[in-house]
Structure formats: C-alpha cells, structure tokens
Structure 1
Amino acid sequence: MTAVFSDAAKDQQVLRRRGGTLAEDLRDELEELIVSGTLPPGSRVDEIELAARYQISRTPVREALKALVTTGFLEARPRHGMIVTSISIPMLLEMFETMAAFEGLCAKLAARRASHGEKAALRAIQQRLSASVGEGNEEAFYAINQEFHELLYEASHTDFISAQTRALRKRLAVYRKNITFQTGRMAATIAEHERIIQAIEEGNPEAAFRAASEHVSLLGDGMADLIAALPPALLRVS
C-alpha cells in the first residue's frame, strides 16, 4: 500500500508554516500523519514522491525519514523501501504494558505534585469528556481524552518521564484509537478517569498509580477485544 497524501499545494503550505529546518518540518508532518492514522501501518512512504509533493530536495527527505526510523515510526524493508511500522501482537502487548507503567508513574507523581489549578483543570476536562459521551461524538471524545492525558503528564512535573510517556503514546496512537471506539469503552473511560482524579485530589500516590496503570493496561477480555477489533493491516504477522 502506497501512502496517499492530500492536495500538493496545501502540503507545501503546511510544511512552510512549521518554522524549523526542512528535514525537521517534514519529520513532524509525517509523524502527525502516522499518529492520526492518515498514514496507517504498512503504508509505503516513497522518498521521490515526498520530494515532489513538498517541492524540496531529496536530502531533507532522507534526513526526515531517517529520524522517523530512529523513533520507530518507519522501518526500512528489503525490496519494499520505507514502510510505516506495523507492530506484532507480542510487541503491542509489551508496549501497552510499558505504557501502563509510565501512565501510572505520571499519576503517582501528580498525586504528590499537582497544583490546585491542575487538579481543577483535570476535573474540568473530565466534565467535558462526560458531555461528549452523551453527544455520541467519538472524535471529540478522543481529542478531549488526549487533553486529559497531556495534563496528567504536565501535573507530574517531570521532564524525562513525561517525554518518554508521550513518545510511547504517539507510537500506540492508531491502536489506542481502535480501543477508544469499542462499544462501551468511552463510558468505561469516564469511570476510570474518575478514579485517577479522586486519587490525585486526595493526594494518594499509590491509588493514583494503580488507577492510571489499570486504565491503560490490557488484561483478560480487554486484550482479546483489542486484538479482535484491530484491522489485520495494523498488525505484523511475522
């Protein structure tokens, strides 16, 4: 499957508005396309096509692709070129397990360090998230849910831990979206977030760690439901 891009003129304008070097701007643009699912796992990303599409030389394109290989978003396959990385089931479960530990640690530290303003902001986001469930707007729910987790990372008042958590969350974005849209998952998310918020408001680090890690982890039926719901193209067979 070859990557499909939008209007070429718009692509060029988007790249020029970013403000970094050409390689950095293209890297960021492609990363966003991968995270959003516009470039799904298994898509072929062609160097020549990108250079023509964005009207730039192939040198910054190569630099951007190399950077995305380093962060795991792309992989070079013999006879196939650059491909958006697909993840095997064992690796996917391992990554979710690691993500659960990272999220739990951020929540634990937030329970110790979050300001009154951050606690109030978490509560406000939770109210908006609940309202979006009633409206049945899945995309709005997903965006607001992202806000909740971003604030959770900020409230941990860390640099390295929050950066690593965000990076792994991006790698899992396409897969997480499939989980979010499963039947009953949005309502369950509200209840799970409530436990996280309560633990942070009460200043209970251990309860916050447990609530946040359980919110992200895939155990039992949750694991089976995820695998069953994922399109085959998102998973690596071998």
Structure 2
Amino acid sequence: MAVSKASEPTSQPLAPKRLHSAVIADRLEAEIIAGEIPAGSKLDEIALTERFGVSRTPVREALLVLVSRSLAERVPYRGVVVANITRERIDNLFEAMGEIEATCGRLAAERMTMSERSALEELHLSMAEMVEQERYDDYEKANTAFHTAIFTGTHNDELIELANSLRLKLAPFRKSQLKRAERMKKSNEEHTAIVTAILDRNANQAGKTLRRHLLSAARATLAGMS
C-alpha cells in the first residue's frame, strides 16, 4: 500500500527550520522500525511532500538514505517500497558486523597511535557520565564516534569503508536498543572491556570483546522485536 497523507502515522508536523532530508529520513526510519509503516508500503513522493510541506528534493534525498540503510528498496514500476525487516535479516546483519568489528578491534589494538588510544579512553570516560545522567541521545551519538574511532584505528581504508557501510545499515536498530537505561549501562560496561584490551595492545582480547558486544546488542534488539 502507498503511504498517503490520509494513512500516514498521526504525528505533529516538523518545524519549518528542521525540514531537511536528514530529519525526514530519521522520522520515516523510526516509523518503519516501529511498524507504523508496514513492509510493502510505497513511500510516495507526492504524499510525503504534502505531509512534510517541502519540495521533492529533500524527500528524494531522504528516500535515498532509507534505501542505503536497506530499510526500503526500489521496485520497478512501483518506486520506493518499505523493505521486509525480519528477525533473520537483523541477526545476519549483526553477525556480519560482529566479525568486521572483531577484525577492526584486533588491528586497532596493534596499530592505534598513542593519541588515538588516549582519545578513545577519554571518549569512553565521558560516555560513563552520559550513562549516569541517562542522556540517551548524547550516548547514541558518542557510541557512533566510539566505534568509528576503532575503525579508524585500523589504518586500513578499505576496511574502514566496509565497516562504516555496514554500520549504516545497522544504525537504526542499534539506536533503538540504546534507548533503554539498562542496555545503555550494559553497553558502557562492555566498552570498558574493549578499551582495556585496546590500551593493553591485546589484539585477541579486543576482537573477542567486540564480537561479544555485537552479540549483546543483537540480543537486545531482537528482544525488543518480540
């Protein structure tokens, strides 16, 4: 079915100054993950321009973002359609990400410069404060920076590109599971083990802790879908 103005989720219109493609993509992303826009629904450009009160350009850009994150797909003669997000698909994404992050962790433990290790530790300490203050949005952004720092620490451009590409596909699901205080606290505890291994230049342990970290995130995400 098409997501039309009449059938769209009942939400308040965005403030004009926030009407840009990234915000539109985030709104649609949240609605798709929550099941408010079901799989198979057509994301109609005209209906969305009317809903958000914008031109087609930011809507088209937002749809490109959704397709890049595998939340939607282009179907011949239909346009952009919401993808079927199954538990199996999410499990496969987390499994692949776990292996990639484990590799990044091993290499980062061996190759990170002293300044990179120091910056990672400082970021981790600041995230502990966010946990105590339950600053979910700040923690989610810092979490992205934390994992990106580990990717960068590999000093392997091809691996960094691969890791970032897959992380974009998983980002919506990792974001949703970090909105709970218990999971955020657990995530930070797991980060402690990761940082310790990297600072100790223990490559094998860094790989193991990152793989376990992704397994934990997968469990939290899948539990939220049940």
TM-score by length of 2: 0.76
| 1:75 corresponding residue in structure 2 | 73
Aligned-pair identity (%):
24
- Structure 1 91/205 Cα, relative in aligned 2: closer, same or farther at 3 Å? same
Instruction: Look up the match of 1:40.
Output: 32
Instruction: Tell me, yes or no, if structure 1 residue 179 matches structure 2 residue 181.
Output: no
Contact 2:120 2:149 survives alignment (8 Å): yes
Structure 2 residue 105 is matched with structure 1 residue 107: yes
Report the CA distance between 1:71 and its aligned residue.
Answer: 5.8
Partner of 1:161: 159
Cα distance change, pair 216–51 in 1 and its aligned pair in 2 (3 A): same
Structure 1 39/162 Cα, relative in aligned 2: closer, same or farther at 3 Å? farther
Q: State the alpha-carbon separation in 2 of the partners of residues 56 and 206 from structure 1.
A: 49
Structure 2: tracts of 5 or more residues without a match? none
1:115-172 per-position Cα deviation (integer Å, ceiling 9, x unaligned)? 1011000100111111111112222221221211111111111222222212222212
- Asked if residue 229 in structure 1 is aligned to residue 220 in structure 2, the reply is no
Please give the alpha-carbon distance, in whole angstroms, between the structure 2 residues aligned to 1:9 and 1:142.
23
Q: TM-score, normalised by structure 1?
A: 0.72
Cα offsets for 1:26-56 (capped at 9, x unmatched): 5xx379527x944534645222245675435
> 1:133 and 1:51 mapped to 2: Cα distance?
38
Aligned to 1:55: 55
Which 5+ residue runs of structure 1 have no aligned equivalent? 15-25, 233-238
Distance between the aligned counterparts of 2:138 and 2:73, measured in 1? 31
Q: Is the 8 A contact 2:25 2:66 kept in 1?
A: no
What is the rounded CA distance, in whole Å, between the counterparts of 1:184 and 1:57 in structure 2?
40
Looking at structure 2, the residues matched to 181 and 93 of structure 1 have their Cα atoms a distance apart, in angstroms, of 19
Shift of 1:68: 5.4
Q: Which letter maps to 1:152?
A: I
Deviation per CA, 1:4-45: give whole Å up to 9, x if none.
Answer: 76245653xx4xxxxxxxxxxx5xx379527x9445346452
In structure 2, how many angstroms separate the alpha carbons of the residues matched to 1:106 and 1:93? 20
Distance 2:104 2:186 in 1: 21
RMSD (Å) for aligned C-alpha atoms = 3.4
Code of the residue aligned with 2:168 in structure 1: it is K
Deviations 1:59-110 (A, max 9, x none): x94x885685466342246897523434211111011000101111111110
Q: Structure 1 residues 130, 183: closer, same or farther in 2, change over 3 A? A: closer
Contact kept, 8 Å, 2:109 with 2:198, in 1: the verdict is yes
Distance 1:110 1:47, change over 3 A: same
Equivalent position amino acid for 1:40 in 2: I
Tell me if 1:129 matches 2:127.
yes
Q: Measure, in 1, the Cα distance between the counterparts of 2:49 and 2:179.
A: 35
Partners of 1:199 and 1:118 in 2: CA distance: 14
